Amino acid sequence: MEFWQIILSYLMQPLIWLGLIMTVVIYRQRISKERRFFRIAIDRDFYEGRHFLKTAFFGLLIGGIISLAAGLMLTTGSIALIEIVGIIVVILLPFFDLSLIGLWLSAAGISVLNLADIADFSIGKMSFSFDGKMLPASVLLLLGIFFLVRSFLLHYKKNTWFTPRIKGGKRGRRVAYYNWKEFSVIPLIILFPVDTFQSSWSYWPVFSFNGRSFGIMLLPLLIAAALCVFKEEPQVILSRFYKQSLILSILSVVLAVCGLFYPLVAVLGIVIVGILAVYYYFQRKHVDEKGQRWYVETNDGVRVIAVIPNTPAAKMGIQKGDTILDCNKEVVRNEPELYAALQKNSAYCHLKIRTFEGDLKITESAIYADAPHEIGLILFQ
């Protein structure tokens, strides 16, 4: 019965349902923008929802193991602050990814509020009681779990999940860039001191260990990641983002363990992790700015900026950045000329392509009869 009370209390928290709603909102936002810019939905697969659930399960499993092994304990005030910030951030997700900033500010605020307790802590003496002195180490461990689960969200690394966008470039030619955004709300197992709850919470399951009484709850923790790539291959930036998240996770956990013995280390650790996360953000932007894969509109053929999965174009191995020079033996310089050439043989297509690296290749395939426009190419409109 106690187990079901914990589950029910988790399902009653607004961040869970708001997260599910915003997942649908972000999916519909992506589809809407694709149809507005390209007159077609590039990938109708609701992978945002699938990844939301997979990441939540991973967070419950791995995050729960870490939190229980470390005895992750937060005060009710800390829990309330994290949830309120999470609600605000998830509402803003369609516009900005502030998940890490929100969690880091919560962690910093919680630690600052406990500086007085930390200053009185006896250096070198381990305390197994929870009186606020271990709180900074707990929130730093929370950051470590955030980075670890975010790396799971980043590990999918599928190129087709980067949605192309168009912006004006130099000399009147347009440029394609690529956007990706996903998130999840994970059920994180945490402990809290029972004496911090009022009598109105007397129904809550209570456990005792080593002479201490504590409660167990599932804290909804927002995990999000977003990228906007202009000049580099999206996979390169995504891989770098993944490795950086793992480094931040390991660093956070190591500093959290040290913070159990020396609480001031945990406070400094929160600052260090925040500074390093900001450094990594600007490093990713720098790598992107130095990239050479600038998908610019061209008059010498038709530039491909994306390929719809499971279409003839995908089966022919056409890649974004490729330039179609001729179709069915006809030279093409723009989208209307390409589809006019396709109409000459509406069940088959023969393409001469120049890759982004400058190599020439020939590819051909059967296409959808009476629907050559569904070949699966996303071009500058």
Average pLDDT score, the chain = 82
User: Is residue 243 domain-resident?
Assistant: yes
- What per-residue confidence (pLDDT) applies to 209? 56
User: Which of these three, 289, 320, 338, is where a domain ends?
Assistant: 289
Same domain for 362 and 231, yes or no, is no
User: Is residue 147 domain-resident?
Assistant: yes
311: domain CATH number is: 2.30.42.10
- What per-residue confidence (pLDDT) applies to 206? 64
pLDDT tens-digit readout, 158-211: 667 788 988 887 777 888 899 999 999 999 988 777 654 444 455 556 666 555
For residue 237, pLDDT over 80 is answered with yes
User: Is residue 24 domain-resident?
Assistant: yes
Same domain for 188 and 155, yes or no, is yes
Same domain for 283 and 137, yes or no, is yes
User: Is residue 200 domain-resident?
Assistant: yes
Same domain for 116 and 265, yes or no, is yes
- What per-residue confidence (pLDDT) applies to 7? 78
Same domain for 248 and 327, yes or no, is no
Encoded tokens for 24: 């649908």
Mean pLDDT is lowest, of 219-228, 354-363, 367-376, for 367-376
User: Is residue 48 domain-resident?
Assistant: yes
pLDDT tens-digit readout, 314-332: 888 888 889 999 988 888 8
| Cα 245 from chain centroid (whole Å) | 11
Mean pLDDT of 353-363: 88
- What per-residue confidence (pLDDT) applies to 247? 97
Same domain for 271 and 343, yes or no, is no
Question: Alpha-carbon distance 275 to 286, whole Å?
Answer: 17
User: Which of these three, 289, 310, 344, is where a domain ends?
Assistant: 289
pLDDT tens-digit readout, 38-55: 888 888 889 999 999 999
User: Is residue 294 domain-resident?
Assistant: no
DSSP string, 44-107: ---HHHHHHHHHHHHIIIIIHHHHHHHT-B--HHHHHHHHHHHHHHHHHTTT---HHHHHHHHH
- What per-residue confidence (pLDDT) applies to 52? 94
- What per-residue confidence (pLDDT) applies to 143? 93
Mean pLDDT of 228-237: 90
Closest CA to 20 of 83, 81, 93: 93
What's the total number of domains in the chain? Answer: 2
- What per-residue confidence (pLDDT) applies to 114? 60
Question: Alpha-carbon distance 148 to 18, whole Å?
Answer: 23
Residue 335's domain comprises: 299-379
Same domain for 211 and 322, yes or no, is no
Encoded tokens for 321: 């950045």
Q: Percentage of the chain with pLDDT > 90?
A: 32
User: Which of these three, 267, 289, 311, is where a domain ends?
Assistant: 289
Q: Which residue has the higher pLDDT, 75 or 251?
A: 251
For residue 286, pLDDT over 70 is answered with yes
pLDDT tier at 242 (50, 70, 90 boundaries)?
A: very high
Same domain for 42 and 130, yes or no, is yes
- Location of structure tokens 């079901």: 4
Q: What is the pTM of this model?
A: 0.86
pLDDT tens-digit readout, 91-147: 998 888 888 888 888 887 776 666 544 444 333 333 334 445 677 888 899 999 999
| Cα 237 from chain centroid (whole Å) | 13
Do residues 128 and 210 make contact, with C-beta atoms less than 8 angstroms apart?
A: yes
Question: Alpha-carbon distance 226 to 328, whole Å?
Answer: 40
Same domain for 317 and 236, yes or no, is no
Same domain for 102 and 30, yes or no, is yes
Same domain for 168 and 283, yes or no, is yes
Same domain for 246 and 317, yes or no, is no
User: Is residue 342 domain-resident?
Assistant: yes
pLDDT tier at 368 (50, 70, 90 boundaries)?
A: low
Question: Alpha-carbon distance 270 to 143, whole Å?
Answer: 8
- What per-residue confidence (pLDDT) applies to 300? 84
